[in-house]
Amino acid sequence: MSLSERLTAAWYAGHPALAVLRPLEWLYRGVVRRKRERFLAGEGTIYRAPVPVVVVGNITVGGTGKTPLILWLIEHCRSRGLRVGVVSRGYGAKPPQLPWRVRADQAAGIAGDEPLLIVQRSGVPLMIDPERSRAVAALLVEEPLDLILSDDGLQHYRMARDLELVLIDAARGLGNRRCLPAGPLREPVERLHSVDALLHNGAANDPVGAYGFTLQPRALVNLRSGERLPLSHFAPGQALHAVAGIGNPQRFFTTLERLHWRPVAHTFADHAQFDAALLNFSPALPLVMTEKDAVKCRAFAAEDWWYLAVDAEPSAAFIAWFDGQLQHLLPRP
């Protein structure tokens, strides 16, 4: 287990040894508090886009299901007749310049794995830049859009926003509820009182004061051929190698187990880079990975490599609430 994995495990187990990090936590809290206070006071350069901006973020380190939810939001907004675009930090991306428009035929090393996945799946106009306000402005120069979705960016206080949607992993929660580095929080837990909606990934029902959404497995997609097969392609009890380089890999392995397969888990760091030798496991078994990892592996994939396609399914209450927000934010035609 890596140092990062051990630290994450300690955060969510509430290990008492983390108390030695409290002084650093208080320094961190002071920095993030001042950033937010300046934002609320309107100090500094804050870019406000001419169209509504919806931030889809979290206050915890690690995966909470942002990418599947953003894909759902893209399609939902399109079904309402809206022209939607996405901006992202592009973690791990190394484009020739910034801002950078992500295209479906680009390499993950240039575009970043999550932005590339979103574009390949949806074809949405997407711009990456750590300075997200700059990404929004650049995207609006290129595309006539009605709405911008920001992939993460909750703490990016140089960008004004109209809605803040915050995702929480229903199983892991907020860990020990302490801020970095003594806990997994990017901002104090009180920050949740000011967001517009909380969505709990993995909650079949709506928690009190929040909404639930689930990730539903849909199909197996072959990395080499693109063939899409039903989940019944693998019989119950099928042994397979399971690869996950995401923020919360255990969620992926648990999903495979609930499909009644027997995964041999191979955990990698979030946004890990892969090659054929690294994924040459023994014994020879089918290999299943996340879609986020698949965008980095297609060029060297073996014949029996697959990714599990999943879709976000928000609760009916959230859909009704979000539609009401759209009506409020967007002018009537």
pLDDT digits (tens, 9 = 90+) for 106-163: 999 999 999 999 999 999 999 999 999 999 999 999 999 999 999 999 999 999 999 9
Q: Quick check: helix, strand or coil at residue 166? A: strand
Amino acid at 168: I
Region of poorest pLDDT, from 31-40, 108-117, 266-275: 266-275
Helix intervals (H) in the chain: 3-13, 22-40, 66-79, 108-111, 113-122, 132-142, 249-258, 291-294, 316-329
Give the N- to C-terminal CA distance of the chain in Å, as an integer: 55
pLDDT the model gives residue 331: 77
User: In this structure, is the dihedral angle defined by the CA atoms of residues 298, 303, 304 and 308, taken in order, positive or negative?
Assistant: positive
Contact 116, 95 (CB under 8 A): no
Closest by CA position to 32, among listed 160, 166, 154, 173 = 154
Token pair 């979290």 is found at 58
Across the chain, mean pLDDT equals 94
Q: To the nearest 10°, the Cα dihedral for 137, 329, 154, 14?
A: -160
Distance, CA of 257 to CA of 277 (rounded, Å): 26
pLDDT at res. 333: 54
Q: Does 292 have pLDDT greater than 80? A: yes
Tell me the percentage of the chain whose pLDDT exceeds 70: 99
Cβ 186 vs Cβ 180: under 8 Å? yes
Residue matched to tokens 């097969």: 229
Given this model, what pLDDT does residue 1 score? 60
Phi, then psi, of 200 in degrees rounded to 5: -100, 110
User: pLDDT at residue 269 above 90?
Assistant: no
Tokens found for residue 167: 């995702």
120 phi/psi in degrees, rounded to 5: -65, -35
Mean pLDDT along residues 75-100: 96
Hey, what are 125's tokens? 């106009």
pLDDT score recorded for residue 15: 87
User: Do the Cβ atoms of 135 and 87 come closer than 8 Å?
Assistant: yes
Helix residue ranges, H only, 143-244: none
Element (H, E) at 236: none
Least reliable range by pLDDT among 35-39, 230-234, 247-251 = 247-251
Mean pLDDT score, 1-26 = 87
| Partner residues linked to 228 by β-bridges | 221
